[in-house]
Amino acid sequence: MLKCPNCGVENPDLSNECVQCGYPLEQTGSPEGKGKQKKILPLCLIAAILLIAVLCGIFLMNRNEKDVGLFYGLAWGTSYSDVKAELEQESIGKVTTDDKKQIVIVSAENFDNHEGVSAKILYKFDEDGAVYSVFIAIDNENSAYSDQELIRLYEKEFTDLYGEGEANDDVVLTNWTTPESSIQLTYLSDGFIILEYTDADHEEVEE
């Protein structure tokens, strides 16, 4: 009910003027309309919060794969069959396998989005058939990058992610240690650069 401010008479909610004295009455909206507005606002807020949480989760998941030093998110210890299946389904290049020797090699063009740079990626497995290393031979002979430019790009990327690496000699340039991996950058010869990711917990078996 709407109370008339002039004469004090109670009027129906939708009245535009007082039934007693004709004084104009101000509409403040129905309780039902207010209830709907109150319900809509929290729902929109919840939806916005959920969307932000999902986007943040995706960003952090993608970033964490690099932060811990995994090559394309491949977990160390993954079996030969699982690595083979995953690469054949979502490969960054042509996949060659040898089931008997448990060898997986990927031939990639425009590697790491560097136009003209190709790479041979060798996945190494231990005696139990679990991946422990990814060896990447980068061929820079047909790109517009100089060897030093490409090396600086990788050094900057890894340093931004993992901090300053440990400098070595002129051949093995830098090592970076991450929570999951040891990453080694090597300048093999003109036009050829080596990147190797190795499981930080892997121990070479002496024969």
Q: Which domain holds residue 23?
A: 2-67
- Return phi, psi of residue 83, to 5°: -60, -45
pTM listed for this prediction: 0.66
Per-residue confidence (pLDDT) for residue 55, from 0 to 100: 53
Q: What would the pLDDT profile of 52-89 be if each residue is shown by its tens digit?
A: 665 544 443 444 545 678 898 899 999 999 999 999 88
In a domain, 37, yes or no: yes
- 90 shares its domain with 177: yes
Summarize the confidence of residues 149-164 as an average pLDDT.
Answer: 93
Do 116 and 188 reside in the same domain of the chain? yes
pLDDT band at 19 (very low <50, low <70, confident <90, very high): confident
Are 7 and 83 contained in the same domain? no
Q: Give start and end residues of each alpha helix (H) in the chain.
A: 31-67, 80-89, 147-162
97 with 22, same domain?
Answer: no
Q: Are residues 115 and 193 in the same domain?
A: yes
Q: Are residues 174 and 98 in the same domain?
A: yes
Residue 206 within a domain: no
pLDDT in tens, 182-201: 999 999 899 999 999 999 99
Are 196 and 181 in contact by the 8 Å Cβ rule? The answer is no
* Structure tokens that stand for 78 in this block: 């993954």
Q: Is residue 207 part of a domain?
A: no
Same domain, 129 and 184: yes
Do 36 and 130 form a contact (C-beta atoms < 8 A)? no
* Whether residue 131 is found in the same domain as residue 169: yes
Give the whole-angstrom CA distance, residue 150 versus residue 193.
9
Residues 107 and 59 reside in one and the same domain: no
- Percentage of the chain modeled with pLDDT above 90: 50
Task: Tell whether 101 is covered by a domain.
Answer: yes
